[in-house]
Every structure is written in C-alpha cells, then in structure tokens.
Amino acid sequence: MKNIFFLSICFLLISCVEHQDKTSVEENVFTAEDRVEVKYAKGFEVSYHQGYIKITTQSHSSNSQFKDSLFLITDLNNNLPKDVKRLTAEKTEFACQSSTYLAFFDAFKALDMVKALCGIKFVNQDSLKAELVSNGVVELCLTDQIQDEALLEANPDLFLIYPFGRSQDNNYKEKGINTLLIGEYLEETQIARLEWIKLFGLLLNRAEEANFYFDKIHEEYEALKRQVKPIEKSFIMNLPFQDQWFMPSAQSVGVRMVEDVGISYYFKEAGGTENEVFSKEAIWDVGTKADYWIIIANRKPNFSLNDLLSESPVYKTFKSVKNQQVIFCNTADVDYFAKGIIEPQIILKDLLYATKQIEYHTPVYFKRLK
C-alpha cells in the first residue's frame, strides 16, 4: 500500500514538471534597412510593419493546403500579441527537417547556425557533411520520424519543417519550439526556388547579401536564356522504378528548367502538378521517338552509356541513345537536390552545353553520357 502511495506521488510530481522556454537576457533586433522584395516565388511573402517583419509561407497549388507565419522583431516596443511565433536577432540556432535547406545556409557560410538536422547521413556533399559533424550537429531522425528528445536536446530557436504530411505543428509550439513551414520545393521555376534565399537571408539578418546573391544569379540565368534558340526537339525524363515510370509534371521545376534550353517536353499536355505514372512499356514505346533523354538518378561514379544499356537492352532502341543524346545528372556525384537550387545558372549552362548550344563549358551537374 505504501509503495502504491509512493508511486502515485511520483506520477503526480512528474505530471507537474514545468516547461521553460528558451530565454535570453539581452535581445537584439532585426534590421529592416535592407528590404527584400519577393518577385517570383509564390510560396512566401514578406511584409514590413512598425516594430516587426512578417514572413508568411503558404501553399500555392492544390497539392497541399497550408499557411504559416513568423515575426522577426525589429523593435522590442511593438504591439505584437504574445502568443505569435517570433524571433529576435540573437545568434539564432536552427534545426532543419530537410537537408535541402543546407544549401541556403551554406551560401551565407552560416552552416554553424544549424544545430540539428534530419538525415545527416544523406547529405550528399562530403565537405558539407564533414562540417556538420565537426559542428556537432544533432541527428533528428530515426528513419523519417522526428525524435522529439533529440529536437528538445538541440533546443533550436527555429525548426524549419516541410509541409507535407504535417499536422503536429502546434505540438512543437507546446514544447517551446518555433517552427516555420518551408515549401520551396513547390515552386514551379528555378528562379522562384532560388528566391527563397531571400527568406533565409531575412532569418539570418543578412537580407542585403541575399538580395545581392539572388540578383547576380538571376541576371546570369536570364543572360544565358537569351542565348537559347528554340529547337524542334522533344525530351523524356528519368528512369523506371520497377514496372513504373514516373514522369514529372509539365509544371515541375525540373521540366521547366530543361524547357528553358529550348527543347519541349514529350508530355507537355499532361495537366496537374504531380508526377504522372506510366508503365515501363509505354515509355519504351515513346523512347523510340523522343530526341533527348534527361536522367536525374543515383548511380555509381563515372556511369556510362554502356552501364545504362546494361540496365535494360531495350534502351538501345531509344532515339536519344542511338544519337548519344542522353543527358545525365548523377546525384551520387553532385548535390543536385540541394546545391543545385542555388546554382540554377550552372545547371542551365550544363544543359546548353549538352544540347550543343554553347561551346566552352565544364559541366557540373548534367553531362552527356558517353
């Protein structure tokens, strides 16, 4: 009986544990001098107010519905309600659910601000991974699941999360962790995705650098696009997955990026924003007609055309294979999904070179398979 009483008291004590939020004694504020203006991205908005900057991230397609906001304090005397998600300009520490956000931090040489990450072992760039490890970044995830204890241990000021499959946003709020939904992957053009660097610039209180980086890359990208002469040629994309072949939507960043070099997508009539699934044999049939075959896949280093043919002999009937017009991005070698976001001009140049529209260039992401 005594034991039961003792245990009951213990349970009561445990349930009464008080949770404390991260506090700072002295608070710095964000600067609003260098303003960012969002021109291409549809997934976030920035508005300037007396005493704070409001960042809103939101869905812009039928794929998912979400809206989130964060307030960056520019003056401690503001009239914001207490319960809104806010950040002051102390040395902000971040946790990231996706490794694609790392490219933005890396652009500002601010990787040391990342304290926790989901999937450290999946970071493609060895140098980046080594830096994360030496910074003592906490692994947040076991498989795809976020480990709450690891997150609480990292105690970030802001947890950047992706919107799909998400409903526990409020859960984190209860645990004293601010979150912000980042849907940069939902943008429909490379430039719109690149523009998310402005949001990261704001979070790091480095808006001026963000504006400069964006303008520079954007200008280079547009200058390259001006060299493009539309050619009457078609392309298909990627590789099969067992018996299914996932063709990206005509609205996707990947497809639009390739279309920027003047060739047209074989499935451009397909509506919607999601991948279209075809049977393997349907694409085998189409492959005999499409001029180019653009592949983004993870394969062994120095993957060659012969390696591709050894995956399936039917590929030798493809027009693109016969004419050596298979353009390949090996994600085992290059960080296409992260670093590629902030280097669209290099990707475009690779594609222009691969389609023989420019003469001198050393390919980085996309190479013609030989």
Partner 1 sequence: MKQWKNDIFLLIILFCGVILLCLLNILNGDVAIGLHDVIKLLSGGAVDNPSWSYIIENRLNRSIVAVFAGGALGVSGLILQVFFRNPLAGPGVLGITSGASLGVAIIVLGGASFGSTWGNIGIVIAGLVGALGVLFLLLIIARFIQNSVTLLVAGIMFGYFTSAFINVLILWADKTETRDYNVWSLGSFEGLSSFEVGLFTSIIGFGFILTFLLIKPLNALVAGNNAAASLGINIKQTRNLIILITGVLASIVTVYCGPVGFIGIAVPQFIRVLVKSKNHAIVLPLVFLGGGFLAILADFTVRMSSNALPLNTVTAIIGAPIIIWVIINLNRKNVSI
Q: Measure the CA angle with vertex 190, ends 262 and 247; round to 5°.
A: 70
* Per-residue tokens: 151: 């997150």
In the list 231, 314, 358, 364, the residue contacting partner 1 (rule: CB under 8 A) is 314
Instruction: Give 243 or 359: the residue with its C-beta nearer to partner 1.
Output: 243
Instruction: Indicate whether 304 belongs to the interface with partner 1 (CB under 8 A).
Output: no
Phi then psi for 292, rounded to 5 degrees? -120, 150
Instruction: Indicate whether 167 belongs to the interface with partner 1 (CB under 8 A).
Output: no
Instruction: Indicate whether 241 belongs to the interface with partner 1 (CB under 8 A).
Output: yes
Tell me, what DSSP letter sits at residue 109? Answer: T
Closest CA to 290 of 241, 233, 240, 249: 233
* Per-residue tokens: 50: 């007396």
Instruction: Indicate whether 11 belongs to the interface with partner 1 (CB under 8 A).
Output: no
Provide the residue type at 279 as one letter: S
Instruction: Indicate whether 323 belongs to the interface with partner 1 (CB under 8 A).
Output: no
Mapped onto helix, strand or coil, the DSSP state of residue 4 is helix
Q: Measure the CA angle with vertex 297, ends 338 and 259; round to 5°.
A: 75
Instruction: Give 122 or 212: the residue with its C-beta nearer to partner 1.
Output: 122
Q: How far is the CB of 286 from partner 1 (least distance, A)?
A: 9
In the list 47, 227, 244, 323, the residue contacting partner 1 (rule: CB under 8 A) is 244
Q: How far is the CB of 246 from partner 1 (least distance, A)?
A: 11
Site for partner 1 in 82-121 (CB under 8 A): 121
Residue 204: partners with Cβ closer than 8 Å, 6 or more residues away? 92, 105, 108, 110, 113
Instruction: Indicate whether 143 belongs to the interface with partner 1 (CB under 8 A).
Output: yes
In the list 288, 304, 323, 324, the residue contacting partner 1 (rule: CB under 8 A) is 288
* Per-residue tokens: 336: 């296409």
Instruction: Give 32 or 314: the residue with its C-beta nearer to partner 1.
Output: 314
Instruction: Indicate whether 317 belongs to the interface with partner 1 (CB under 8 A).
Output: yes
Tell me, what DSSP letter sits at residue 13? Answer: H
DSSP string, 214-259: HHHHHHHHHHHHHT----S-EEEE---BTTEEEEPPTTSHHHHHHH
Q: Give the length of the chain.
A: 370
* Stretch of residues binding partner 1 (CB under 8 A), selected from 64-72, 183-191, 283-291, 351-359: 283-291
Residue 307 CA to residue 301 CA, distance in Å, equals 11
In the list 91, 164, 277, 361, the residue contacting partner 1 (rule: CB under 8 A) is 277
Q: How far is the CB of 244 from partner 1 (least distance, A)?
A: 5
Instruction: Indicate whether 298 belongs to the interface with partner 1 (CB under 8 A).
Output: yes
Instruction: Give 10 or 142: the residue with its C-beta nearer to partner 1.
Output: 142
Please give the C-alpha separations between residue 149 and each of 138, 145, 281, 369, in angstroms, as whole numbers.
11, 12, 47, 46
Instruction: Indicate whether 133 belongs to the interface with partner 1 (CB under 8 A).
Output: no
* Stretch of residues binding partner 1 (CB under 8 A), selected from 9-17, 211-219, 235-243, 264-272: 235-243
Q: How far is the CB of 138 from partner 1 (least distance, A)?
A: 17
In the list 66, 108, 185, 284, the residue contacting partner 1 (rule: CB under 8 A) is 284
* Per-residue tokens: 88: 């002051």
- For 350-365, b/e burial (b = at least 16 CB within 10 A) is bbbbbbebbeeeebbb
* Stretch of residues binding partner 1 (CB under 8 A), selected from 51-59, 266-274, 310-318, 344-352: 310-318
**Burial class of residue 310 (count of CB atoms within 10 Å of its CB; 0-12, 13-18, 19+):** exposed
* Per-residue tokens: 189: 């053009």
Instruction: Indicate whether 287 belongs to the interface with partner 1 (CB under 8 A).
Output: yes
Q: How far is the CB of 299 from partner 1 (least distance, A)?
A: 9
Instruction: Give 81 or 313: the residue with its C-beta nearer to partner 1.
Output: 313
Residue 356 CA to residue 325 CA, distance in Å, equals 10
Site for partner 1 in 15-54 (CB under 8 A): none
Instruction: Indicate whether 279 belongs to the interface with partner 1 (CB under 8 A).
Output: yes
Please give the residue ranges that form the binding site for partner 1 (CB under 8 A): 121-122, 142-143, 241-244, 277-282, 284-285, 287-288, 298, 310-314, 317-318
